Amino acid sequence: MRILSGIQPSGLPHIGNYFGMMKPAVALQEKGEVFLFIADYHSLTTSPSPEDLKKYIQEVAVDFLACGLDPKNTVFFRQSDVPQVTELTWILNCVTSVGLLERAHSYKDKVAKGFVPNNGLFSYPVLMAADILIYRSNIVPVGKDQKQHLEITRDIAQRFNSTYGEIFVVPDEQITENVAVIPGIDGQKMSKSYNNTIPIFGKEKDIKSRIMSIVTDSKGLNDPKDPDKCNVFALYSLFADSHHQKKMRENYHKGGYGYGHAKKELFELSWEYFGPLRRRREELQNDLGYVQEIIREGGEKARAVAELTMCDVRKAVGIR
């Protein structure tokens, strides 16, 4: 069974990425052959500066390894190290209807948020389908925001298979339900593209001030509060065991407990939670040659698998 997922290097990985994808993907390393990659071509769709793109590719590589990605069991690589994937994207473009892409929420959301829609942003799901199909992936662990992209991938795979023969595996997403969409500090989906994140690894002062700026309603210190409508509580629940969750719930209900108190508890617990990972990250940061070598070797392995699929694809469509 092949398991595959990707992350864009468009900013520092954040706790939405961690609980939505990185942690579940790392846990799957024991269940099958895992392929994880840095989706650098996808990041280009939102026009980062070349300096930022370069910087975040390295940050994502170090962060993912610090979060438990084990290069002995997992093929870890950069999307752009596999040129076959852009070749397949073109071929898939030619079996993808424009209407299918026009219905994509993530495209519509980005346009609504003011991104100027280039053609790359529009055909983003086709590149993603190529990422998944080229490695004949069975399972794709992702956050809930990616569900529709997986539906589009299946649609494209089925269209291709019914036109040219059974070349592709039709994949399934795996979504961890209780962490499906993690809110950012403004209450919308936490996303590197929306500048509303809490990074996994960052300076203590910065993380604290981001947590302190999480948006809440305007209830005063003594008012009873509703934990189920509160972003601070939603984030705290990711880190806390059921006993601590219950305690915070009671504090919300009884009043005399302000959002500032809850934010302080959230900061302390999250800082402690990521402590061991932070120490691992420091070691990696001091050995960037090792990190680069893992990515290079991963690229070689990924290219070999991609080329096998492409031989079948080229033959099937009549290019060879």
Binding site for ligand TRP (CB under 6 A): 4-6, 8, 39, 42, 128, 131-132, 140, 142, 146, 149
At a CB cut-off of 8 Å and minimum separation 6, what does 311 contact? 320
Catalytic site residue 205? Answer: no
**How many CB atoms sit inside 10 A of residue 155's CB?**
17
Name residue 270's amino acid.
Answer: S
What is the smallest separation between the CB atom of 114 and ligand ADP, expressed in angstroms?
16
Phi, psi of 3 (to 5 degrees): -115, 135
133 near 168, Cβ under 8 Å?
yes
Q: Does 21 bind ligand ADP (CB under 6 A)?
A: yes
Q: Does 8 bind ligand ADP (CB under 6 A)?
A: yes
Q: Which two tokens stand for residue 5?
A: 């997922």
Q: How far is CA 57 from CA 174, 255, 274, in A?
A: 25, 45, 21
Q: Which of 2, 23, 78, 189 binds ligand ADP (CB under 6 A)?
A: 189
User: What distance in Å separates the CA atoms of residue 165 and residue 160, rounded to the nearest whole number?
Assistant: 7
* Residue 62, binding choice from ligand TRP, ligand ADP, none, Cβ under 5 to 8 Å by partner class: none
Provide the minimum distance between the beta carbon of 40 and ligand ADP in the complex, in angstroms, as a whole number. 11
All residues at 6 or more sequence positions from 27 whose CB lies less than 8 Å from its CB, including other chains: none
Answer yes or no: 72 catalytic. Answer: no
CA distances from 229 to 25, 99, 216, 235, 243 (A): 29, 36, 9, 12, 20
Which residues, numbered 124-183, are part of the site for ligand ADP (CB under 6 A)?
Answer: 142-143, 145-146, 181-182
190 binds ligand ADP (CB under 6 A): yes
Task: Give the number of residues in contact with ligand ADP, rule: CB under 6 A.
Answer: 19
Segment 53-59 long-range contacts (CB within 8 Å, at least 24 positions apart): 53/9, 56/9, 56/10, 56/11, 56/12, 57/9, 58/288, 58/291, 59/9, 59/12, 59/13
Q: Which listed residue (23, 189, 225, 263) is catalytic?
A: 189
Work out the number of other CB atoms within 10 angstroms of the CB of residue 63.
Answer: 24
Least gap, CB of 311 to ligand ADP (angstroms): 29
Of residues 23, 192, 225, 263, which has the active-site annotation?
192
Q: Which does 181 bind (CB under 5 to 8 A by kind): ligand ADP, ligand TRP, none?
A: ligand ADP
Q: Which is nearer to ligand TRP, 39 or 211 (CB)?
A: 39
Q: Record the tokens describing residue 182, joined without a space.
A: 């993690």
Residue 193, binding choice from ligand ADP, ligand TRP, none, Cβ under 5 to 8 Å by partner class: ligand ADP
Angle at alpha carbon of residue 227, lines to 223 and 232, rounded to 5°: 100
309 binds, among ligand ADP, ligand TRP, none (CB under 5 to 8 A by kind): none
Q: How far is the CB of 222 from ligand ADP (least distance, A)?
A: 32
- Asked if 189 is an active-site residue, the reply is yes
Identify the residue among 3, 4, 12, 16 touching ligand ADP (CB under 6 A).
16
Catalytic residue numbers, as ranges: 110, 189, 192
Q: Write out the residues near ligand ADP by the rule CB under 6 A.
A: 5, 7-8, 10, 16-17, 20-21, 142-143, 145-146, 181-182, 189-193
